[in-house]
Chain A
Amino acid sequence: MPDDVKNKAGLLERLQFIDRRYIFIFIALAVIIPLLLGLRFEEEPSPIVLALYDKIDEMPPGSRLLMSFDYGPTTAPEIQPMVDVILRHACLKDLKVYLMAVWATGQSLTVQTVEQVLMPEFPDYEYGIDYVNLGYKAGNQGLIRVIVDDMKRMYSTDANGTDIEEIPIMKQVSSLKDMDLIVSFGGGFPGIKEWILFAGDPGGIPVGGACTAVSAPQLYPYYPNQMVGLLGGIKGAAEYESHVLNTYPEAFAKTPTPGMNMMVAQMVAHIVIMLFIVFGNVMYFMYRGKERKLTLEK
């Protein structure tokens, strides 16, 4: 057996499993460069995203929307664009917004969202009248099970310690059943699934969701019967941003579109992964060809 054939087969075998650090470098570049360039493309909303958009868009002014921050700083880069765009849309439609968190880490993100989006962009929105921050309460799905029937049993004060009885927006809310829509942000535990199982189903309350891309497939079975709609990862955020931008061009002309910007980075990263998969497969088939040749020569 000639040595060069043997060496070539060895090289092909190694190339099939190249050092993963090379892959990491390419992925890093694929993400960083598009983000630095700040490009964005228009997105067509998929039916599952459009369903949530339509639900919010069709809610009459004054309807009650509960936004639950069920995520942490970890997934914030992926979830936050969805929170921001849905909050903007809700405020544009004059909905009463109730903010809360079933994740401890969601509390500070709620405050951050209010300070960075709601207060500067919607100065007419008055705390206690148009929106309220109920804050975080421990209890996971247990908390949801309780407030589906009795809100005040768990929330005697808001996040600032104000007595719930003194907050006008809470006067007409005795339980989650008084909400017109619940949107849970975050696909972990507790998250959208728990909101569906412990609030949406037993209370007959429409539940929508926005989650990380990895969690999205497991939530698809709940759509459309148990879940109004779903935004899955950056793709979902980009579709929603693109759609509100097209529908309300004046209102959203100057608002940032992080989802659409990050989508470009995601696109390039996907292409890089595809190229690596193709490369891996080419090496695999070439190796198999050589191996067969070596076996025949033997």
Chain B
Amino acid sequence: MWRRTVPIMITFFVGTVLVVAEFIPHKPFGNLGEDFSLYFDIIAVFAFILGGGNLCRVHFSKIYRGKTDWQFSIVTLLGFFVMLAAGLFKIGNPMGIQGDVTAAGSLFADLYDSIFTPLQGTMYALLAFFVASASYRAFRAKNIDASILLIAAFVILLGRTPAPSLIADFFAGAGIGFMATAFNFVPTLTDWIMDVPNLAGQRAILIGIALGVISMALRLILGVERTYLGADSK
């Protein structure tokens, strides 16, 4: 009983106080939101140890038991410990142990710049390829709605580049005035799509989300929703 009741009581108390504090600038309520944010961060920092411990346990066990793809676990653990040691002991840091962990010349900075940064960039760059393949699959003029979406996508794809003005110049040069006018209009149409239909849709979704958050928060504060505690609400 205590395992469920105490967390629900804490949630109710803290949730209510924080909501009320939002409208009371007087001490001690005024800074409660900031204080609780900081408390959470302090807890989260200590939880890093839990995460790191779990990572080591899972991968050591994988290597020890020789599970499938155990070789990858060696790479993971090696990366983890080398980076940890480089940051913790400030290896190669020109300012020594007193220096900033990211000081130029330190092993940590070198690893960060030469391995971490390019790897991160590579993962992000995948987006360009995946956007292309997803667009290829998703944009099919199967019905009226999909066709409108397809046309809008074309306008945005074109309008977000200097292509329309280049094409318009080409048509103007070739003496096809109406085509030049049409392509010159694409950037304006792009801005209109972004500013009007897109904005309207985004705002509607945001209003829905805000209301959803209020409802969800109330369910949590009032203890109606307990699933996150591992407890069935019933």
The interface residues of chain B lying within 8 Å CB-to-CB of A72 are: 120
Known interface pairs A73-B120, A74-B120, A74-B121. Does A44 touch B187 (Cβ–Cβ under 8 Å)? yes
* B162–A139 CB distance below 8 A: no
* A274 to B160 CA separation, bound complex (whole angstroms): 13
* B198–A267 CB distance below 8 A: no
Output the nearest chain B residue to A160 by Cβ-Cβ distance. Answer: B100
* A74–B202 CB distance below 8 A: no
* A172 to B162 CA separation, bound complex (whole angstroms): 44
* A23–B136 CB distance below 8 A: yes
* A281–B195 CB distance below 8 A: no
Distance from A82 Cβ to chain B, minimum over Cβ atoms (Å): 15
* B123–A139 CB distance below 8 A: no
* B206–A221 CB distance below 8 A: yes
* B166–A276 CB distance below 8 A: no
Known interface pairs A138-B41, A142-B37. Does A267 touch B161 (Cβ–Cβ under 8 Å)? yes
Distance from A291 Cβ to chain B, minimum over Cβ atoms (Å): 13
The interface residues of chain B lying within 8 Å CB-to-CB of A41 are: 162, 165-166
The interface residues of chain A lying within 8 Å CB-to-CB of B102 are: 107-108, 111
The interface-forming segment of B57-65, B124-132, B175-183 is B124-132
The interface residues of chain A lying within 8 Å CB-to-CB of B127 are: 214
A174 at the interface (CB under 8 A from B): no
> Interface residues of B toward A: which range?
35 or more
Distance from B159 Cβ to chain A, minimum over Cβ atoms (Å): 9
> Interface residues of A toward B: which range?
35 or more
* B34–A142 CB distance below 8 A: yes
Distance from A79 Cβ to chain B, minimum over Cβ atoms (Å): 11
**Which of A31, A138, A214, A270 contacts B158, CB < 8 Å?**
A270
**Which of B129, B141, B162, B199 contacts A220, CB < 8 Å?**
B199
The interface-forming segment of B109-117, B211-219, B221-229 is B109-117
A-facing mask of B17-52, CB < 8 A → 1, else 0?
Answer: 000000000000000011001101100010000000
A-facing mask of B110-154, CB < 8 A → 1, else 0?
Answer: 001100110011011001110111011101111000000010011
Known interface pairs A24-B133, A221-B206, A263-B161. Does A74 touch B124 (Cβ–Cβ under 8 Å)? yes
A273 at the interface (CB under 8 A from B): yes
* A139–B38 CB distance below 8 A: yes
* A220–B194 CB distance below 8 A: yes
Distance from A238 Cβ to chain B, minimum over Cβ atoms (Å): 8
* A213 to B124 CA separation, bound complex (whole angstroms): 13
Distance from B196 Cβ to chain A, minimum over Cβ atoms (Å): 10
* B131–A273 CB distance below 8 A: yes
* A43 to B166 CA separation, bound complex (whole angstroms): 11
B203 at the interface (CB under 8 A from A): yes
The interface residues of chain A lying within 8 Å CB-to-CB of B161 are: 235, 263, 266-267, 270-271
**Which of B34, B154, B202 contacts A146, CB < 8 Å?**
B34
Distance from A35 Cβ to chain B, minimum over Cβ atoms (Å): 12
A269 at the interface (CB under 8 A from B): yes
A140 at the interface (CB under 8 A from B): yes
* A244 to B155 CA separation, bound complex (whole angstroms): 27
A20 at the interface (CB under 8 A from B): yes
* A221–B132 CB distance below 8 A: no
Output the nearest chain B residue to A105 by Cβ-Cβ distance. Answer: B120
* A120 to B204 CA separation, bound complex (whole angstroms): 47
A141 at the interface (CB under 8 A from B): yes
* 6 nearest A-B residue pairs (beta carbon): A142-B37, A267-B161, A73-B117, A20-B133, A41-B162, A74-B120
Seen from chain B, the residues whose Cβ lies within 8 Å of a Cβ on chain A are 33-34, 37-38, 40-41, 45, 100, 102, 109, 112-113, 116-117, 120-121, 123-124, 127-129, 131-133, 135-137, 139-142, 150, 153-154, 157-158, 160-163, 165-166, 187, 191, 194-195, 198-199, 202-203, 206
Q: List 16 A-B contacts (CB under 8 A).
A: A24-B132, A27-B129, A31-B128, A44-B187, A73-B121, A74-B120, A108-B102, A146-B34, A160-B100, A220-B194, A220-B202, A270-B161, A274-B157, A277-B139, A281-B139, A284-B142
List 11 other contacts, CB 8 Å, given A24-B129, A221-B203, A284-B142: A20-B129, A20-B136, A27-B132, A42-B162, A46-B191, A77-B121, A108-B109, A140-B41, A142-B41, A161-B100, A218-B202
Seen from chain A, the residues whose Cβ lies within 8 Å of a Cβ on chain B are 17-18, 20, 23-24, 26-28, 31, 41-44, 46-47, 72-77, 107-108, 111, 138-142, 145-146, 159-161, 213-214, 217-218, 220-221, 235, 263-264, 266-267, 269-274, 276-277, 280-281, 284-285
